Amino acid sequence: MIMLIGLGSLFVLKRPDGKPWLSLGSIAQKTKESTSNAFDDAKSTFSNSLEHLAEPSTDTPSGSIYKWQDANGNWVYSDQPNPKGKSQTHLLDISKINRMAAEDTAILKDLAAQKAQIEAKLKAPSALTPSDVKQLMQDAQNIQKLMDERTKKIDQAIEGQ
């Protein structure tokens, strides 16, 4: 309610020049200017997009792809014919082709190397001796006891309130 009164008072209270701080006319004018600017920006962007589409592109597909089998019997598809032999040519309807940027697969090589390192570490024998394992288990049990005591203290504190 206080916010509504504060907002309403801006329409009634006057600035030093005698005009109200807010008026419906000023709000309408600023709204009109904002929408006009947004419309002009959209129109400009649209015009630039149309100009860009009208320009000939150097990466437009030729409409044909080439297919051949490599030495291992795998099928290879390319936009260039087989430099080492014959290839089959297939014509494509360019209007039905969706083009998208190729993804960078360099990260996959790094992941493969990391996976190999991890697998090598897992295959290596453990460096822990039986006494180390026993100490590790005792430490885990001590931590569990501490956590149980803490939970009990928290429950007692809650019940005491």
Flag whether 111 is in a domain. no
> Is 132 found in the same domain as 93?
no
pLDDT in tens, 54-76: 554 444 445 788 898 888 888 88
Residues spanned by the domain of 39:
2-54
3-state class of 71 per DSSP? coil
Instruction: Answer whether 14's CB lies under 8 Å from 20's CB.
Output: yes
Please tell me the distance from the alpha carbon of residue 126 to that of residue 11, in angstroms, as a whole number.
Answer: 78
Flag whether 115 is in a domain. no
> Is 50 found in the same domain as 22?
yes
pLDDT in tens, 128-144: 778 888 888 999 999 99
Strand partners, 90: 65
Residue type, 120: A
pTM, to two decimals: 0.28
Q: Report residues of the chain scoring pLDDT below 70.
A: 50-62, 97, 100, 124-126, 161
> Is 75 found in the same domain as 43?
no
